[in-house]
Structure 1
């Protein structure tokens, strides 16, 4: 039974609520204690105190007190509401929703509880429950526009476009007068309703509605774009043409508008003369613009292309535009255009270098420097790669302009393409020193240092632009600022060094950042309605639904899964990198134990140093705050030792892998890693599913070929037969990839014969030959060495071959000697 309060204590309880709302947490605790001294079992006060404690970071104590409050007063909607709020803060949304629903049964008319329930239902994408909650809120307060808009959004996102439009129309009918044009909320609602009509496919009605109400919208550009789009899709070409002309007059650099105008005019894609005439017209109208000059280069051919690109290149080179090459490199997909560009720019060099020699005119030297810079990028780019020429040109550009950061950066990039990470990092550091106040070049220098596995140097560089007084120093600030690229590169650098603890620490940090981005949408469920930004909110909700297909997540997840696979295969790496993992120089048991003991000792030494540092920072950490004023805790596991000590690495890998397979199913590397994880977990049906998916994407993938061979060998050597139902699925699916009647040696040799000109495919076939016949090792080594004679083999593929030789327990000397002769500049094949 609830414990009644006297008027004075009731007033104090209301003060506790106000303290919480005003974030006066210490006062709130003090006032709550006053009430509880006289009324120790007052559930509502205990609940409010628990909520304040939770906001002070005392979550365990808060939950214990909230449970006690429930025991003291099970029939109070406040105690249940607070219980739900605590679960919400812990991101346990299912339990929070249960608590809110129980609170609503006790107090059906409570607006705050209904609102909190609705927000969680939207966060969980429970559209059916969200519609019910928003309907109840609308019925309680039908005069508030936000409630109507929220219900329309609920129906829209659930797929019921007709009902969403009906809700918005019903509200419009309730308005007594026409809202002023300055009413942005009304303007957004009008355009939102119009977009729903268009999404339903009724373009004629959408256009009619837009013509009727568009003049009352503050987002004039959106109205113009929507109108032009509708007219074009309705095939009303003269009106669409006028609409796109109006848009181009506002922004002549938007290529989408040009595409719309071309369609509206009915100009065929192959009518190059008419297209060129259209763009020339806009060049005259906007002589300082770039788009109308650049876009024709995509479709022009032959002499027309040569004349146009000549004018374009000279114009940009004279201006010294650094982004010129980036702007035109898409043309290199056509070899003929690439050759024309190369010939023209080489011609500029020969015709201008004579004039510039001995000339003091800076304009000529600037033009020549820009031209050398362009050629350096040209010869760096893969379709036209010629690294000696790239280096030659960038050196000439630097000679003319020694303080140019861009030129020095390109020199570093050339060394990177040579495969020399050491020189690349050094040259990028030299570029940084040319402009120490430039954050971009600072970040590039740090990135190149990470690629060279210089983690400490990279962090030192990054610390020049971080708030180092924050908890955790520079690394702590990089975490707080959600610097995803750095954390990913840092993690991958540690993974290459087989320092799995630190690698997993960084990669988990990126994983947590994506979780934060997922959680950050919570505040927008109410904020966007208050501000009336409905269309942007709907776009955000749909983007959040596919958040983890983002390339940043994909790259990080690949690395994390590889780290856990390595940890599963070599558990000793949990204590640090071993001197050798395998190969001819592999460790015997006594040496392994000795190395393991040494690694553990080093780990303890680092932990002791970090513990001493933590103690020294303890006083400062108590007062250290983030940018938003929130007190930040010291990281209790800075080296990731807790993460790497997991007893089930493959289970941990699934946390990263599952979103990849769900959202990036067309990424073959995701399917390949899926097979690796599932095959090790003996999930044969799921493993063959990944093989089938990968085969559908690229049946000739070299890694896939090797996995198919491995899977057949696994099926042939099972210690126990599969469950009959699983066996039936596995057999029927795998039969499509590799028929039972097919001999594995013949299958592998046929693959080798069909792909003998690809180093990666040859490596896979040779690995398959080794898998099937251990005695083939001498011939495999000979064939692998022969791949270096291929003119198409890359440094990366040659480096992979070194890893294969280690797996085969082979001597690498001959391969390294031959590779170092082929790539003398590369640091991957340096002889000891």
Structure 2
């Protein structure tokens, strides 16, 4: 009876002799990527056995490789239903899911396949890779044990098991596996790189186990036997181990490293540490050692630079004089960047400024003087002007910096660094149009320099010239690409995605801004997916130490500044649209006129024609192949090119929370992250998460202006709820708020107290106004509060001024023009607060070059006077 019950399943599993041979041929054809023949073979089997699950799955897999994904996936699902106990159908389904980046589902399918074929090597290797990708390390150890049991003669399996133990935190077990592995080796040749890497990994495991003596013994024996071939690694590890063992040989080992590379900071720090010296606590002793190294290595820069960090008083003055003069004489463009970290000490800052000014005075060309008082190169004067310009620009003394740059440009008008510094200074001062033009002047000095091209495009985006920036970038992108932006996105250019996203956000095109921020997230997803192939490759090639470093880097991937910036910017847009859905509808039509809409439609059509032509040209030149194979990986398809669906999504807050979630562990010291997390959590009614975000932000900076706004918002939020927040989150949330804003203090009083304590901070005044807005204050009250930033004692930078302007614009204040006029007087170099007519002229002027200006002057056409030099004179 039971045999009759399983008879249909068995008939679906087993094939006749002829079809069984064809099925083996099908597997071979698939492995050889002969997909068309494989498809015919599958059809032959299915004619006689139309419900054979394994053949259906293999046919589906072949179709997916041929680009017929939907049809193929459907066949695979059908094949699984026909034979649930076949390892082949589950293996195929796992391959499909892996191609769709559904790693958790793929691991489940592979695990299911292993139930029916426990010793399948291919399955076990794939499972191990998926477990590593998903960081399922305990399962990985078990899988690697099975692989080693099945193939104990394969060296890779021994190392893979040791790595699995290492990743799971069982270092002692990893040590045992490596020791057993090394016993199996015979007649290992000298200079075998794979064996060398394995021994270095063994030493690493011993060092992490703090078995330093054993690690040193292994290292010394291996170095003597020439089985470790990386000499630098031997010296570094040996010095580190001797330091930990407090050996008398450690000093010599670190000195050898310094002699090996006298420009490595870590070697000097290791030498000092071995001497028991701290650069902070024992500056005098450390300076004496660095002085000896400076004499021993007169061309080395590092000991002289470290000495500047440790020295003080007259000694610093003497060392800094020699250091700056040497750098300026050699013409080192990065000299200011090198010494900028010393500016945290105001005394050293003043000394460096006095030294540079003294060198400038001594090197100024003067025809009345027969010879200079200082024996220097003729270019020293140029580089000291460049240094001082960067110095004053950093100190926000923009007019002085621009004056020095004009002198330098008059001296040497062909040095691009002068124009890039001018652009940076103007950008900091708020003149984005002048900055864009200055950077374009730098680019024109060397049209083949990709760096200058990139910089010019970046500054044009900051000035709002997105199309012009795209045209510049197109000079270095693929000519057959649909657009320069598409090529840069394909090349994962983070700077481009962020800058264009910010440009669209400033222009109010939130949908397009979101598209760029989403593209940044996609780049990091790709980084994460790209590691998959290395789980097998690195073990095959025995590059174990680098592989472990890569895994650690991948674990902290989203701590990258670009991801943090994109995640925060995108979450703010999502929150704004959630609070005011009209923003989304306004972005969909963009408030455009009929003529603008018609022009946009025409441009879109032209772009589509261009893309179609590019695709046609690419297909015409592409090499033909009889074995068509489009791969298992699902290509990214953009069905929302304008970001309309993204902006109109019903799950805005969920999208924002997903972006911010990795940052809760990877960017814990970034207060802006916690502010963004609170904004999203409070709107999702995740009150515990909102309380945690406020608490963490408060530990970082209790007086942070944006945190003040959120505390007031949280208190107001609780007071306006129709019903209390249920337990357990409600009491915890209320208790957290009461710790920051006691119940007996009203939000209005708390807000005014904050203003009194920070009355000279422009950012704090803005925060107080924003908090008043959350409390429902009148427009006049908020306007009066905002205008207090114009007092002389208030510290106000251009960035805060722009934020204040945006806030007043959101309030639809009639006093916005009045504020802009006041800001225009205060920020003399800035063009951000000009009238619309002035801005129109400035846009036209910013898109011209010096050559065009001279032609215009010859034709009697006046260039706009709102350039940085004229602004400085008017001020």
TM-score, scaled to structure 1: 0.92
Question: 1:725 deviation in Å?
Answer: 2.7
Question: 1:617 deviation in Å?
Answer: 4.9
**Is 2:839 the counterpart of 1:828?**
no
- Name the counterpart of 2:515: 505
Q: State which of 80, 93, 100 in structure 2 corresponds to 1:90.
A: 100
Question: 1:512 deviation in Å?
Answer: 0.9
Contact conserved, 1:332 with 1:338, CA < 8 A, in 2?
yes
Question: 1:402 deviation in Å?
Answer: 0.9
Contact conserved, 2:99 with 2:632, CA < 8 A, in 1?
no
List aligned pairs for 1:17-96, cutoff 5 A. Answer: 17-96=27-106
Deviations 1:100-126 (Å, cap 9, x if unpaired)?
122222222211011111111111111
- Name the counterpart of 1:138: 148
Secondary structure (helix, strand or coil) at the match of 1:826 reads: coil
Deviations 1:17-69 (Å, cap 9, x if unpaired)?
34433434344334434444454444333322322322333322221111222
Question: 1:598 deviation in Å?
Answer: 9.2
Q: State which of 379, 383, 386 in structure 2 corresponds to 1:373.
A: 386
Q: 1:431 to 1:22 in 2, by over 3 A?
A: farther
- Name the counterpart of 1:709: 712
**Is 2:394 the counterpart of 1:391?**
no
Report the more deviating stretch, 27-36 or 450-459.
27-36
Question: Quick one: distance in 2 between partners of 1:58 and 1:420?
Answer: 54
Q: 1:574 to 1:302 in 2, by over 3 A?
A: same
Question: 1:683 deviation in Å?
Answer: 2.7
Q: What 5-or-longer segments of structure 2 have no aligned partner?
A: 1-10, 624-629, 837-875
**Is 2:580 the counterpart of 1:570?**
yes
List aligned pairs for 1:335-346, cutoff 5 A. Answer: 335-346=346-357
Question: 1:422 deviation in Å?
Answer: 0.9
The number of residues matched between the two structures is 814
- Name the counterpart of 1:402: 413
- Name the counterpart of 1:219: 230
Secondary structure (helix, strand or coil) at the match of 2:532 reads: helix
**Is 2:695 the counterpart of 1:684?**
no
Contact conserved, 1:499 with 1:573, CA < 8 A, in 2?
no
Q: 1:4 to 1:263 in 2, by over 3 A?
A: closer
Question: Quick one: distance in 2 between partners of 1:713 and 1:306?
Answer: 56
Q: State which of 448, 455, 470 in structure 1 corresponds to 2:459.
A: 448
Question: Quick one: distance in 2 between partners of 1:422 and 1:743?
Answer: 46
**Is 2:292 the counterpart of 1:289?**
no
Question: Quick one: distance in 2 between partners of 1:90 and 1:781?
Answer: 57
Deviations 1:496-516 (Å, cap 9, x if unpaired)?
112122111111111111111
Report the more deviating stretch, 20-29 or 713-722.
20-29
Q: State which of 489, 496, 518 in structure 2 corresponds to 1:479.
A: 489
- Name the counterpart of 1:230: 241
**Is 2:739 the counterpart of 1:736?**
yes
Question: Quick one: distance in 2 between partners of 1:397 and 1:702?
Answer: 41
Question: Quick one: distance in 2 between partners of 1:503 and 1:744?
Answer: 35
Question: Quick one: distance in 2 between partners of 1:776 and 1:509?
Answer: 39
List aligned pairs for 1:413-562, cutoff 5 A. Answer: 413-470=424-481, 472-562=482-572
**Is 2:203 the counterpart of 1:199?**
no
Question: 1:387 deviation in Å?
Answer: 0.9
Contact conserved, 2:511 with 2:587, CA < 8 A, in 1?
no
Q: 1:493 to 1:25 in 2, by over 3 A?
A: farther
Question: 1:555 deviation in Å?
Answer: 0.9
Contact conserved, 1:816 with 1:829, CA < 8 A, in 2?
yes
Q: What 5-or-longer segments of structure 1 have no aligned partner?
A: 581-593
TM-score, scaled to structure 2: 0.87
Q: State which of 657, 662, 666 in structure 2 corresponds to 1:654.
A: 657
Question: Quick one: distance in 2 between partners of 1:708 and 1:603?
Answer: 44
- Name the counterpart of 2:192: 183
Question: Quick one: distance in 2 between partners of 1:22 and 1:449?
Answer: 51
List aligned pairs for 1:584-623, cutoff 5 A. Answer: 608=605, 610-617=607-614, 619-620=616-617, 622=619
Secondary structure (helix, strand or coil) at the match of 1:774 reads: coil
Report the more deviating stretch, 159-168 or 716-725.
716-725
Question: Quick one: distance in 2 between partners of 1:804 and 1:355?
Answer: 52
Q: 1:220 to 1:755 in 2, by over 3 A?
A: same
- Name the counterpart of 1:319: 330
